[in-house]
A and B are shown apart, each in its own frame.
Chain A
């Protein structure tokens, strides 16, 4: 497949077995920890805790690479802008642009942040099946229900989106091939060229949505309050331990920042 961002890789590793809430919250705090890092070295070091987790989860290097590849250009641009546009002590000149020490530091830091956040997000989606991910999110959003947040509906929307993204991608490939059989070319990004792909794709998405809505109504889905579930989430000791480590990471990141400042 062309596009594999956020794909679930079934497995039974310790990371797979963690509660989705643990993983969601840890992703959040991991992000905070990286953003708190005051310089490139700190960002690189504090983020590196992700590597053993990736190994434990049994994700392959090729998989990780496919997750990062689409963002490569973005990351390069971020780095280049920071490196060139930050005023400071000049290190080298590339044509009219001057790379500064401060720029290099900032650029590397930005790079590390994007890199680690993508890795962490990939780790979360690769080790958590979409259903439990939505369950976990719903549970986490539950306190907001009192303030009028439709947590159940949000979770359902997320589930459906996650469920149907791969289906749509497969469908897109199929339609592309079918139009190629009629001599269509999808090279270049002209909107006109994309019509033979986009229109059938939208029509099928709407049809699918309608069918799904009917199927849910036929089974008396009413959404919202009072729904029970087949699998109840339960936190296990491993979850608490994992979460304590996450908090320690944020704590040390925060302390370091205070010390350096």
Chain B
């Protein structure tokens, strides 16, 4: 599944007035992409996510699914291509409603009109994928779970739809470090399946750097930067112009450099930082 936004703009309607939020967005998500959308609060990330998921209709421009121009969900009739796009909202635990965890996760597959055995199978696989034991938790009420568990149940609810493109809006916000790491690893394993794509909305630079293979930076509703994590984070301090804090490792390397240590600044992970610093300590100055 390939999603293309062509010259898409969006404005919210408030009290009969237009509040423009996104301007002339060009974007493509294809299988094999793990696209990170980042930007300061209010830059329009969640809105862009909902446009990609067909949950909002652009005020201008067009959205193409596999090359076919598509209207947002609910407007087009019949089986819609949008079924193959899943979206996990910001704080998805707020959408839980069913009496049991099983029923909640089964809500999506039921809406797809699947048979009961298939539904059961999907629910179990989805719960396992997010690290929950279906036998143990399936019959409990979702409202008595911890926040992190609720979040995972909600994500399972979207996974059970078996989307080809998974869009996640700040899935790790408000979780403890272990919960964060867990969710990030599900995202990675989801996207490593064949023909899948994922979109991760996040303002955590370290998270983005470690996961994505493509990054866009939104600033005031426009795509300000676009590239691989490496290309984006090399910008260092100039990211501040977009109200983003450059990630810590490149900052550390830049600071070392400023203090006279000739280390490479092309560093995204802890391992890379380590080897760059060791290289310098052993006296092998890098080529910079």
Contacts and interface: CB of A to CB of B under 8 A. Distances in A.
Given A4-B15, A7-B15, A182-B158, A196 B107 contact: yes
Nearest to A179: B95
Interface string A69-107: 000000000000000000000000000000000000000
Interface in B32-76: 50, 53, 55-56, 73-74
A177 B16 contact: no
Interface in B56-100: 56, 73-74, 83, 86-87, 89, 92, 94-97
Contacts of B74: 180, 185
A196 B14 CA distance: 25
A176 B167 CA distance: 17
A181 B143 contact: no
Interface in A167-213: 174-175, 177-185, 195-196, 198-200, 203-204
A200 B56 CA distance: 20
A7 B13 CA distance: 13
Interface in A125-176: 174-175
Contacts of A199: 97
Given A177-B50, A178-B95, A195-B97, A183 B112 contact: yes
B161 interface: yes
Contacts of B138: none
Contact of A184 (B15, B53, B107): B107
Given A66-B16, A178-B89, A181-B53, A196 B112 contact: no
Contacts of A220: none
A1 interface: yes
Interface in B115-162: 143, 157-158, 161
Contacts, number: 66
A174 to B, nearest CB: 7
Nearest to A174: B89
Which interface class (under 10, 10 to 19, 20 to 34, 35 or more) fits B? Answer: 20 to 34
Contact of B89 (A8, A181, A203): A181
A195 B92 CA distance: 16
B239 to A, nearest CB: 30
B189 interface: no
B94 A181 contact: no
A9 B16 CA distance: 9
B250 interface: no
A204 B95 CA distance: 10
Contacts of A1: 13-15
Contacts of A204: 94
B18 interface: no
Given A182-B107, A182-B108, A200 B95 contact: yes
Contacts of B97: 195-196, 198-200
Contacts of B111: 182-185
- The secondary-structure label for the interface of chain A is helix
A8 B83 CA distance: 38
Contacts of B50: 177
A181 B87 contact: yes
Contacts of A63: 16
Nearest to B74: A180
B95 A175 contact: yes
Among A1, A63, A66, A174, residue most surrounded by chain B Cβ atoms (within 10 Å): A174
A181 B55 contact: yes
Interface in B152-192: 157-158, 161
A188 to B, nearest CB: 13
Interface of B: 13-16, 50, 53, 55-56, 73-74, 83, 86-87, 89, 92, 94-97, 107-108, 111-112, 143, 157-158, 161
Given A60-B16, A196-B97, 15 more contacts: A7-B15, A63-B16, A174-B89, A175-B95, A177-B55, A178-B87, A178-B89, A181-B87, A183-B83, A183-B108, A184-B111, A198-B97, A200-B96, A200-B97, A204-B94
Interface of A: 1, 4, 7-9, 60, 62-63, 66, 174-175, 177-185, 195-196, 198-200, 203-204
20 contacts: A66-B16, A174-B89, A177-B55, A178-B87, A178-B92, A178-B95, A181-B73, A182-B108, A182-B157, A182-B161, A184-B111, A185-B111, A195-B97, A196-B95, A196-B97, A196-B107, A198-B97, A200-B96, A203-B94, A204-B94
